[in-house]
Every structure is written in C-alpha cells, then in structure tokens.
Amino acid sequence: MEIIIQPNAAAAARLAARLLAGVIRKNPDAVLGLATGGTTLPLYGELAAMKLDWRKITTFNLDEYVGIPPQHPQSYHSFMRENLFRHINIAAKKTNIPDGLAGDIPAWCERYEKKIRAAGGIDVQLLGIGADGHIGFNEQTSSLASRTRIKTLTPQTRKDNARFFGSEDQVPHHVITMGIGTILDARHCVLLAFGKNKARAIAEAVEGPVTSMNPASVLQLHPKVTVFLDEAAAAKLKLKDYYRWVFDNKPDWQKI
Ligand code: PGA
C-alpha cells in the first residue's frame, strides 16, 4: 500500500487527478470505477479542468441509494452528472451507475457484475472511506468476499449523509453497492480521505488487522493500492514519517 500524505485536501486531490489523468492518457479505453461523496469533489473539479479525452472511457460507479429516481437531487446519478459527467466529453452510454429503482435487485446486481467483466474489469477503482471504515456502502461486518448487492445502511452512515438530504429521516435505508470482492478485483485501488473525522478509520485500515469491522482494511490484501491523505486524515498513522520519506525519495520512474 502506498500512503501519500499532502498538506491539504486540495494538494492531495491534485496529485490523485494527475495519477488518473496519466491512466486516461496512456489508455484512452480505460475502465474506471468511480465513487461519490464530498471527498471526491476536489478530485472531480481537477479532472474536469484538465480537458482530457473521455470519449472511449467506461465508468462503473460503486453505489446508489435504493428507492430514489436518477433525477432526485441526492441520487448518485445526479451527483455524477453535476460534478463530473456534464463537464467532460464522456459518452452517456459508457457510464454505469447502479439502478436504485431496479425491480429485481439480485438479478440487476448480477447483470452489473457481468457488465464489469465484459468490459474487461476495472483498471482503477476510486474509493472514499466512511468514518467507520466502509468502502462503497460495504458497512462494518460486510463479507470481505461480497459482490454487488443490496445493503442496509447503519444509523451512523445515515447520520453522516443527512447533511446532503436536509434531514436524517429522508436518507434511504437501503443501497446497491459493489461488494468488497468486486472492489478487490480492480487492478488498482485509489483511496482518498480528508479531514480528522477519517483519521481513526484510516489508521485502522492501513495499520490495523484485516477485519470486516473496518472493511477498508481488506485493501491490505490487494497488490496495488494508493492512498491519498491530507494531514488531518493521516494524523493517527504510526508510521507516517516513514510514508513521507518513501514518497519524498521515490525514484523518477515511480513519480506520479
Ligand atoms: P464522504 O463519504 O466523501 O462524503 O466523506 C465517503 C464515504 O462514505 O465513503
């Protein structure tokens, strides 16, 4: 796992955008796994400003709320449209987001998995992290082998996301999310975390035991993970001076 600590979220997002831009330039047909949430906003802002060619890029989003239509202002369809897709030249038919109104959810989830496989798998999967360590909407105690499926949000996650909905009772209880097994199939995972609210989850995910009580800790089993942090999110890492030294002394060929 590569841990990159930057002075603030803007600097970390700029570097993460540079990594993704490099992938898109090198492989114009790349398949990207996308995330939503406040953490992704500075990254999508950077990417939108970069004038990259997205025409042949395929995207698969991690998750969506169940029971709200794509036009709902808090749906992840709306989030992606507003914060990334309408600013870039991506083909709408190449963007994939779970359908929160799917009638037969298990069948829909199976088709999503098949579609990811048919696209050749995910080259780079973007991830945020919940204060409890969730990735996608794989809440604590999610199976570490799980595939795309319906999940029930914890009271904490619904509280955390109430800020987007206005009040907690408007936050849906259910979501469709890629599973942890689905995420682990991506060839490169890129996790972003900013702010002191994420410090404990990050310390446990990077330096704690692999446990479904912190689903992000499973990334320790993945061969290629890059974690972009601001100082506040890195605050509880025991080896942060080591991570900093490694980053500052990277050979040129490894630089982002
Ligand atoms: P946030 O969400 O970026 O809005 O903090 C991250 C997450 O819950 O995965």
d(CA 168, CA 155) in angstroms, rounded, equals 9
**Is residue 231 annotated as part of the catalytic site, yes or no?**
no
Q: Catalytic residue, from 99, 132, 160, 231: name it.
A: 132
Q: What is the pLDDT, as a whole number, of residue 182?
A: 98
**Is residue 132 annotated as part of the catalytic site, yes or no?**
yes
User: Inter-axis angle of helices 40-49 and 76-83, to 10 degrees?
Assistant: 40
The answer to whether 191 and 135 have CB atoms below 8 angstroms apart is: yes
**Is residue 169 annotated as part of the catalytic site, yes or no?**
no
143-192 pLDDT tens trace = 999 999 999 999 999 998 998 898 999 999 999 999 999 999 999 999 99
Write the residue with the smallest CA distance to atom 2 of ligand 1: 37
pLDDT band at residue 205 under the 50/70/90 scheme: very high
Q: Is the pLDDT of residue 51 over 90?
A: no
Q: What is the Å distance from ligand 1's center to 130 Cα? A: 5
pLDDT band at residue 221 under the 50/70/90 scheme: very high
172 CB-near residues (< 8 Å, 6+ apart) = 65, 66, 67, 68, 100, 153
Q: What is the Å distance from ligand 1's center to 250 Cα? A: 29
List all residues whose CB is within 6 A of at least one atom of ligand 1.
37-39, 128-130
The best mutation among 39, 76, 200 to test binding of ligand 1, ranked by most ligand atoms within 8 Å of the C-beta, falls on: 39
Q: What is the pLDDT, as a whole number, of residue 254?
A: 80
Q: Catalytic residue, from 46, 63, 99, 160: name it.
A: 63
Q: Catalytic residue, from 64, 77, 123, 134: name it.
A: 134
Sheet architecture: strand order including 124-127: 2-6, 225-230, 188-193, 124-127, 31-34, 58-61, 95-96
117-143 pLDDT tens trace = 999 999 999 999 999 999 999 999 999
**Is residue 222 annotated as part of the catalytic site, yes or no?**
no
Question: CA 81: distance to chain centroid?
Answer: 16
